[in-house]
Amino acid sequence: MATTEKTAVVDVVVVGMGPGGESVAGELAAAGLKVVGVESGLVGGECPYYGCVPSKMMIRAGNAVAEGLRIPGLAGQAQITADFSVVAKRIRAEATDDWDDAVAAKRFTDKGGHLIRGTGRLAGPREVTVSMPDGGERTFRARLAVVLNPGTNPALPSDPSLSGTPFWTNREAVQATEAPASLVVWGAGPIAVELAQAFARFGSKVTVVARGPGLLSREEPQAAKLLAEVFHSEGIKILNNTNITAVRHSAGGFRIEATDSAGKVKRLRAEKFLVATGRTMALAPLNLSGAGIEWDGKTAPSVDPHLQLAEGLYLIGDAAGAGAFTHMSMYQGNIVSGHILAKHAKQADRGSAESHAVPRVTFTDPEIGAVGLSEKQAREAGLSIRVGLTEVSASTRGWIHKSGNQGFIKVIEDTQTGVLVGATSMGPHGGEVLSALVLAVHARIPVATLKTMIYAYPTFHRAIAQALADLK
């Protein structure tokens, strides 16, 4: 790297080596550019160490327990003894290397990248100053681009009674070595419900405290209602329209006061307390104003179709506001690396980012996949719509599946264009079934064409045809 008196000059600086940032940095380094990747935590970010990968290992293990309990009525008798230590060891050995990112770091440096451990902040439009763990600082000036990928952190309620207590966020939950005897979960979003069900299937007595009227407020009401029914059948308690108003901890565990919308106080006791009340953008430490970027401190700042905040300054990932998903971060990273290479290495541009068909999956059982607009969102957008819905259990595959066959497929058509603008697939393998619906929404395939498709029999995805036939 060429250096001035205090500033190293490189081609690209990537601040935040989560999935999208690692993808951009690795591709550009492999293309021969001088790339600095800046990371204060683990290379790879939240997903492989505290999010997607370890939590899905837990969920897979819990689902295996549940499936074993479904053997009566399907295949005879079985005796199931759940052991959380098995999946805890797998998370350490296979997913996280005991929360060591040496492999991921080497993956980047082997491509020619230069990894800097520290916290980066903007000192100019294409200048990044890194605060190092030893208290020192280094500054890098990028000739071509700075890519910001700050991600998000667990959002903690401003409740002083939390301070000093050993509550869990998702990060501590996936590091558990045993399932607690009892668990209170504060929150009703995807992380909350996934972990609640996973621990319950390993014997934890779980209570979910939802600040709103139900679970998964972003999803279709049919999904929230069905998941609540499943939770009740599995012994998971749900307190709706309730807020945590006091938290105390002692050697005996947590004592929690939960107050509902009518002012009634319920006192809860639990060995562990999981706070899963959302995520917050980690933009503040970046000092956007140092590059002349205005930010209100709350909403995601505006970017152009190539995800630029300004010329040569890109923002990707959770904090970009198009969806806090690993797949979205990597998609955006692909757009950005393609844009940089198109401008500076004369390669083909990969187009601009689109967000009308971002898929998401909540990995509960039944699994909930969704894409595009919900029915409520479509109506609020002023669209003239038709809605179709079919129960998975009413399909031939659902009837064959028998135990654990709850679910539905819901499709939303814009009658002006004749294409789907949203869909939900809930049920066994709901996220996998969603793929056909994602393609339909993304490519704006006419509903008339979807109705002429041949859907394999007997499959779960065949219920898509039944939902389309129900459009009205």
The annotation places the binding site for FAD at: 56, 120, 318
Cis peptide before 366 (omega within 30 of 0): yes
Q: Which residues contact 292 (CB under 8 A, 6 or more apart)?
A: 125, 310
- The pair of structure tokens assigned to 155 is 């959002």
- And the tokens for 271? 């060995």
Question: Encoding tokens for residue 239?
Answer: 């307190």
In angstroms, the Cα distances linking 14 to 38, 48, 390 are: 6, 19, 46
Q: How many CB atoms lie within 10 A of CB 287?
A: 16
Helix axes 52-69, 190-200, angle to 10 degrees: 40
Q: CB-hemisphere CA count at 13 Å for 169?
A: 15
Contact 123, 129 (CB under 8 A): yes
Q: Which two tokens stand for residue 51?
A: 């999010």
Residue 289 has φ and ψ, to the nearest 5°, of -65, -25
Residue 377 is encoded by which pair of tokens? 């969102």
Name the CA radius of gyration of the chain, rounded.
Answer: 24
Extract the annotated binding site for NAD(+).
187-194, 278
Query: Which residues participate in the annotated binding site?
Result: 56, 120, 187-194, 278, 318
Edge-first strand order for the sheet with 237-239 is 237-239, 205-209, 182-186, 272-275
Q: How far apart are CA 355 and CA 323, in angstroms?
A: 8
